[in-house]
Amino acid sequence: MTREIQYRQALNEAMFEEMRRDPLVFTYGEGIAERGGSFRVTEGLLDEFGPMRVKDTPISESIIAGAAVGAAIVGTRPVAEILFVDFTALSMDQLVNQAAKYRFMVGGRGKVPMVLRTQGGSGKGLAAQHSQSLEAWFCHTPGLKVVMPSTAYDAKGLLKTAIRDDDPVIFIEHKLLYFTGGEVPEEEYTVPFGEADVKRTGSDVTIVAWSLMVHKALEAAEQLAAEGIEAEVVDPRTLVPLDINAICTSVRKTNRLVIVHEACKRGGFGGDIAARVMERAFDDLDAPIERVAGKNTPMPFNTELEQASIPQVQDIVTTCQRVCLGAKGAV
């Protein structure tokens, strides 16, 4: 049986189910206990599990991350929350130099089964320090897994998988997705890491997108279909591990690739995907790979400028038209 619930509710259900299943799972962060979190993801957990397993913390991201690393090493499964991905900058030593490297440094004799939940992206006029998309930082670091669900179904299934994983997982949610709805089964399920999902089938161009951009890609695909261009939308769901085989399989069918991400284009993860497709499927391409990405600028506070700084549906449509029809110009 399925029902429609919000993305935030799906995450909340995952937390309840995993904390009931495993007494070693606990969660903490800024305002996540009594207040239930800024996006209501941890609502109700304190009432059922108590203050030993659901804790509010001081405003110190370095302590939040460092405590998670230590707690995971000694055998628990912490789910730590840093409210804005922007502030993970304050915890990069703990995440990049400790969590990511511990298993390697001890020759596989230890593990760090922690999840860092955080949210990123723009769309609320929160300006340059609260609106970034920083997934490429973490993808660059061996030892970290990076998850970016786009739907309520994926959010719940991937969070359950993340909590059960024995490696550190950076779980990035988009602030504009929390109150979107989607079908989620009532029965138990998980979504495996490293398996992309084809959100829409098509034959003319592959669009690879993740997080909020999946929804914009699907809207663009509907517009393109009205013009006779059938776009296939592939959602990687996890960037590390990345299901490059699924992406290449789609490219071999459509012979064209457009990559869409909200993060700025320079150094964005789309460049890595493009390079890996070129290495594996160059002979299958009938047009150059194109990226539709955020501008290389800090995010403006002004909402109109904010929208101009990130990909919009029309940008995706125009790029796909150019790739398929050979039109001149640039987005």
Catalytic residues: 61, 130
H-helix segments, the chain? 7-21, 45-49, 61-73, 92, 102-105, 135-139, 152-164, 212-225, 244-254, 269-281, 303-309, 313-325
Residue 4 burial (CB count, 10 A): 10
C-alpha closest to that of 220 among 296, 292, 123, 285? 292
Q: For residues 164 and 110, is the Cβ–Cβ distance under 8 A?
A: no
Reading the block at residue 305, the tokens are 């400028």
Q: Where do we find the tokens 């769901």?
A: 237
At residue 240, the 3 state secondary structure works out as strand
